[in-house]
């Protein structure tokens, strides 16, 4: 501040160049020491991280990224090469090989951190230039503290967002990048590190899915069933929920609250528990339903609901019915709420015109409720499309289908993916399928989004 | 004559409605009674399970608490659920506040990114999360589980809350600004209380999720004393040879009852929250 009449003003670009050479250098020249120190520490910190995590003290054999690189350099090297030496049995025991997947994960982490550092680096230069320019124009020196207070004001939104952003970046986006990259490798159970190296294979996996008959056959059939399932599951729960809500809305029904509390139970009980309970009830060998049918003489032998490969439709229909049990209360509650908002004047007018009750329903009630709940129908479709819980806990995808690659007759894409990746460790194929599922779900969601206004509101 | 016929059809209609209501109620309740009854049954195993056991006994519950790790799993899940609720709600409210009230560079891009993130299947990220946690030493830890739980729901929660906060009039903020409140104070004193119906909804969802979350704990947790109830309960009946069905029944009852009560008591908030979510796409 006392230096505001300084005759020889430093040009703004000079501070920028200094900051580009040494982190925080420009700020130091601007005599914003605290800010300069913060930038310097970020720069020095990352350099120290690279040096301490690498092996820079022993470069007798020359500098090699694999042996000498630290967090950043070795990370990038690993991401590009995925390792060069598998673990081998040597004369002196096991040699430490490269673990391709760890290298890849480290590489992506390094890449993300580098991107953040680049952001800070550019900011460091920009900040020095801007601060100097302001000072040169106004002739008033601003201290770091004043500057940072101003920064807090102007950056409030970013600062408030940063914890959520960092968490999302590292736990959501980074794993997705990793997952997408896996689709372009040969990472599978026959090729697991550290005994073997994983390689980049380009679009080979996508070609395999489309050209190898068994993959395409399984994929198309599972996809078809997933669509049938998602459509039927949504429609049945919606209409039955609607029906139940309309019945409960009837003025002759007493004890509405009690009925509603009963019907809401399937929604309130955790779905995984309900699904497992149904699985036990419909257990072919010991379950009470099969036993009951046998005892009453309705069937001659026990019915293996979810495991009999000769009656695949039995398993599918039963899964849909149990899903109806699980899913209708949600729509019932929702539509019940919407029904109370429909103005009585509509019904009055309809009665005056002598409309029958079915006319009243289809011409008044249904359109109003449908309009209010249509976006949720699409949402429900998407969640049924990816309904892991019901299928996995109820049928485990069964009955088994020998014509399919690792899938059963009730498997949805999402449970098939689970089997591919976690049970059968075909990580690369699982990743390819994940991308395809994403594209399908995303296109549906986008159609839904275009209809609603939320995009324009951003 | 006409009036009598109408009343007759009305009675018939009402009777039919009641029959339907009763039939559906029985279908709803039977499986639930069956599992509760099985949990009090004296004979082990699925084959003898019945809704009304011959000899009612508490043995299954005693067994569950003495001879299995169920109490440990329960406490573990409770910890994860509490952390999930507190941090999930806090971070998403902060994020939604920023997105709703401030204009900044990259706002549209970040909102779109979060929208797209919601559509990725969890499996695509599962292995990567495993590798990541392997690096950071968060594997087989409840902290890790809570971190993923919070992060995975953030995009959806922020979108939902942003829509809700958008509808809170700016005039409250402006009045507080004139009174000299800082933006953090506005957030705590005005936005949080006014958004509390939505916060309740999110809190319930965040709290309930870990009890039934299966895929991530199964992937990330390996030791017995870090398991959550979902994994524990599943292992009780997935193993055909162990025949622990009645234990599973007892465990399920203990897990399901508090959550069911929570849902039934708060159903108004839940329905409002879901409706608002639908409006926002």
**Quick one: average pLDDT of B143-172?**
89
Give the one of A427, A445, A458 whose C-beta lies nearest to B127's C-beta: A427
pLDDT, residue B3, reads 53
Interface of A with B in 124-163 (CB under 8 A): 156-158, 160-161, 163
Q: A160 to chain B, minimum CA–CA distance in Å?
A: 6
ipTM of the complex model: 0.88
User: For residue range A157-166, what is the model confidence (pLDDT) as tens digits?
Assistant: 888 899 999 9
Interval B159-164 mean pLDDT: 87
Q: Which residues of A touch B74 (CB under 8 A)?
A: none
Q: What would the pLDDT profile of A89-137 be if each residue is shown by its tens digit?
A: 777 777 778 888 888 988 998 999 999 999 999 999 998 898 888 888 8
| pLDDT, position B150 | 92
Mean pLDDT, rounded, for A219-226: 92
Three-class HEC string of chain A: CCCCCCCCCCCHHHHHHHHHHCCCHHHHHCCCHHHHHHHHHHHHHHHHHHHHHCCCCCCCCCCCHHHHCCHHHHHHHHHHHCCCCCCEEECCEEECCCCHHHHHHHHHHHHHHHHHHHHHHHHHHHHHHHHHHHHHHHCCCCCHHHHHHHHHHHCHHHHHHHHHHHHHHHHHHHHHHHHHHHCCECCCHHHCCCCCCCCECCCHHHHHHHHCHHHHHHHHHHHHHHHHHHHHHHHHHHHHHHHHHHHHHCCCCCCHHHHHHHHCHHHHCCHHHHHHHHHHHCCCCCCHHHHHHHHCCCCCCCCCCCCCCCCHHHHHHHHHHHHHHHHHHHHHHHHHHHHCCCCHHHHHHHHHCCCCHHHHHHHHHHHHHHHHHHHHHHHHHHHHHCCHHHHHHHCCCCCECCCCCCCECCCCHHHHHHHHHHHCCCHHHHHHHHHHHHHHHHHHHHHHHHHCCHHHHC
Pick B154's closest partner by Cβ from A164, A386, A435. A164
Which residues does A279 contact at the CB level (< 8 Å), separation at least 6?
A: A306, A393, A394, A395, B237
For chains A and B, CB pairs below 8 A equal: 274
pLDDT given at position A3: 46
CA separation, residue A326 to residues A269, A272, A319, A389, B33 (Å): 9, 10, 10, 11, 16
Residue A241's nearest CA partner among A249, A229, A251 is A249
**How sure is the predictor about B277, in pLDDT bands with cuts at 50, 70 and 90?**
low
Inter-chain residue contact A434 with B50, CB threshold 8 Å: no
Separation CA B53–CA B169 (nearest Å): 58
pLDDT-based confidence at B240, cuts 50/70/90? low
Position B113 pLDDT exceeds 70 = yes
Interface test with A, best of B120, B181, B261 (most A CBs within 10 A): B120
Q: Does residue A274 surpass a pLDDT of 60?
A: yes
Q: Which of A176, A270, A304 to mutate to test the interface with B (most CBs of B within 10 A)?
A: A270
Least Cα separation, residue A8 to chain B (angstroms): 36
Q: B121 at the A interface (CB within 8 A)?
A: yes
Interval B91-102: pLDDT, tens: 999 999 999 988
Specify the pLDDT at position B202: 92
What mean pLDDT do residues A331-340 have? 87
- All domains of chain A, ordered by start, with CATH? 12-201 (no CATH), 206-451 (1.10.3720.10)
List, for residues A298-318, the tens digit of each pLDDT value: 888 888 888 888 888 889 999
Q: CA-nearest residue of chain B to A251? A: B14
pLDDT, tens digit (0-9, with 9 covering 90-100), for A47-73: 999 998 888 887 777 788 888 888 898
Parse chain B into domains and list their residue ranges. 75-250
Query: What pLDDT is stored for residue A319 in this prediction?
Result: 94
Contact with chain A for residue B18, Cβ under 8 A: yes
From chain B, pick out residues whose CB is under 8 angstroms from the CB of A437: 121
Q: Tell me, yes or no, if B221 comes closer than 8 A to chain A by beta carbon.
A: no
pLDDT of residue A4: 44
Q: Looking at residue B230, what is its pLDDT?
A: 92
Distance from C-alpha of A132 to C-alpha of A421, rounded to nearest angstrom? 55
Q: Residue range A79-85: average pLDDT?
A: 88
What percentage of chain B reaches a pLDDT higher than 90? 38
Query: Residue B78: what pLDDT?
Result: 94
Question: Stretch A395-423: mean pLDDT, rounded?
Answer: 87
* d(CA B218, nearest CA chain A) in Å: 10
Residue in chain A lying closest to B230 (CA): A272
Quick one: average pLDDT of B91-119?
88
pTM of the predicted structure, to 2 decimals: 0.84
Answer with the residue of higher pLDDT: B3 or A432: A432
What is the tens place of the pLDDT at every residue in B60-90?
899 899 988 999 999 999 999 999 999 999 9
B231 vs A: CB within 8 A: no
B203 reaches A (C-beta below 8 A): no
Point out the least confidently predicted range of A302-306, A382-386, B33-37, B133-137.
B133-137
The pLDDT assigned to B123 comes to: 63
Interface test with A, best of B121, B165, B177 (most A CBs within 10 A): B121
Quick one: pLDDT at residue A2?
44
pLDDT of residue A154: 79
**Which of B88, B128, B228 should we substitute to test contact with A (largest number of A Cβ atoms within 10 Å)?**
B128
Query: Within an 8 Å CB–CB cutoff, is residue B247 touching chain A?
Result: no
Q: Average pLDDT, whole number, for chain B? A: 86
Condensed to tens digits (0 to 9), the pLDDT of residues B248-261 reads 999 999 999 999 99
Q: How far apart are CA A240 and CA A234, in angstroms?
A: 10
Which chain B residues are within 8 Å of A286, Cβ to Cβ? 45-47
Topology of domain B75-250, per CATH?
Answer: MetI-like fold (1.10.3720)
pLDDT of A5 reads: 46
């Amino acid at each position: 501040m006392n230096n505001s009449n300084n005759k020889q003003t430093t040009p703004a670009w000079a501070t920028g160049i200094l900051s580009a050479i040494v982190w925080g250098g420009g700020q130091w020249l601007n005599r914003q020491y605290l800010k300069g120190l913060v930038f310097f520490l970020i720069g020095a910190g990352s350099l120290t991280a690279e040096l301490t995590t690498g092996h820079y003290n022993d470069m007798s054999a020359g500098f090699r990224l694999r042996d000498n690189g630290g967090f950043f350099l070795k990370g990038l090297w690993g991401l590009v090469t995925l390792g060069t030496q598998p673990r081998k049995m040597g004369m002196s025991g096991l040699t430490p090989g490269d673990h391709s997947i760890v290298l890849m994960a480290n590489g992506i982490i390094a890449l993300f951190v580098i991107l953040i550092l680049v952001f800070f680096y550019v900011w460091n230069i920009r900040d020095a230039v801007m601060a100097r320019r302001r000072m040169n124009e106004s002739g008033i020196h601003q201290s770091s503290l004043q500057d940072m207070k101003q920064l807090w004001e102007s950056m409030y939104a970013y600062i408030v967002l940063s914890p959520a952003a960092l968490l999302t970046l590292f736990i959501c986006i980074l794993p997705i990048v990793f997952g997408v990259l896996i689709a372009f490798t040969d990472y599978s159970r026959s090729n697991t590190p550290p005994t073997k190296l994983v390689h980049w294979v380009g679009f080979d996996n996508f070609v395999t899915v489309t050209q190898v008959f068994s993959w395409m056959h399984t994929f198309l059939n599972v996809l078809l069933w997933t669509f049938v399932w998602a459509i039927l599951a949504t429609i049945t729960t919606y209409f039955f929920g609607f029906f139940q809500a309309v019945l409960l809305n009837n003025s002759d029904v007493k004890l509405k609250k009690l009925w509603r509390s009963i019907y809401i139970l399937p929604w309130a009980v955790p779905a995984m528990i309900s699904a497992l309970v149904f699985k036990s009830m419909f257990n072919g060998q010991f379950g009470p339903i099969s036993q009951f049918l046998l005892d009453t003489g309705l069937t001659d032998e026990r019915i293996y609901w979810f495991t009999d490969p000769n009656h695949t439709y039995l398993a599918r229909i039963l899964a849909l019915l149990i899903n109806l049990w699980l899913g209708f209360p949600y729509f019932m509650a929702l539509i019940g709420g919407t029904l109370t908002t429909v103005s009585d004047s509509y019904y009055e007018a309809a009665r005056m015109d002598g409309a029958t009750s079915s006319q009243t329903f289809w011409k008044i009630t249904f359109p109003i409720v449908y309009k209010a709940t249509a976006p949720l129908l699409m949402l429900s479709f998407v969640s049924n499309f990816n309904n892991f819980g019901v299928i996995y806990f109820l049928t485990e995808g069964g009955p088994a289908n020998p014509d399919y690659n690792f899938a059963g007759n009730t498997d949805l894409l999402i449970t098939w993916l689970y089997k591919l990746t976690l049970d059968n460790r075909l990580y690369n194929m699982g990743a390819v399928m994940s991308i395809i599922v994403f594209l399908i779900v995303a296109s549906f969601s986008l159609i839904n989004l275009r209809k609603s206004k939320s995009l324009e509101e951003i | 004559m006409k009036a009598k016929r109408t009343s007759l059809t009305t009675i018939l209609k009402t009777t039919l409605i009641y029959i339907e209501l009763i039939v559906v109620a029985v279908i709803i309740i039977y499986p639930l009674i069956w599992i509760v009854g099985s949990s009090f049954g004296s004979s082990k195993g699925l084959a003898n399970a019945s809704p009304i056991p011959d000899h009612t006994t508490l043995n299954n519950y005693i067994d569950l608490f003495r001879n299995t790790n169920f109490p440990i799993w329960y406490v573990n899940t409770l910890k994860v659920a509490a952390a999930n609720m507190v941090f999930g709600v806090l971070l998403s409210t902060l994020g939604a506040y920023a997105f709703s009230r401030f204009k900044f560079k990259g706002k549209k891009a970040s909102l779109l990114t979060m929208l797209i993130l919601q559509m990725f299947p969890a499996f695509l990220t599962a292995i990567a999360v495993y590798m990541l946690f392997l690096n950071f030493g968060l594997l087989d830890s409840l902290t890790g589980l809570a971190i993923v739980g919070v992060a995975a729901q953030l995009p959806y929660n922020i979108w939902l809350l942003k829509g809700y906060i958008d509808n809170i009039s700016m005039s409250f903020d402006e009045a507080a600004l004139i009174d000299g409140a800082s933006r953090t104070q506005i957030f705590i004193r005005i936005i949080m209380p006014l958004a509390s119906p939505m916060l309740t909804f999110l809190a319930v969802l965040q709290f309930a999720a870990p009890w039934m979350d299966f895929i991530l704990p199964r992937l990330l947790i390996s030791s017995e004393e870090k398991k959550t109830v979902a994994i524990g309960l599943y292992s009780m009946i997935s193993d055909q040879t162990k025949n622990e069905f009645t234990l599973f029944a007892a465990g399920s009852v203990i897990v399901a009852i508090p959550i069911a009560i929570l849902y039934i008591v708060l159903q108004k908030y839940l329905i409002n929250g879901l409706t608002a979510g639908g409006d926002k796409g």
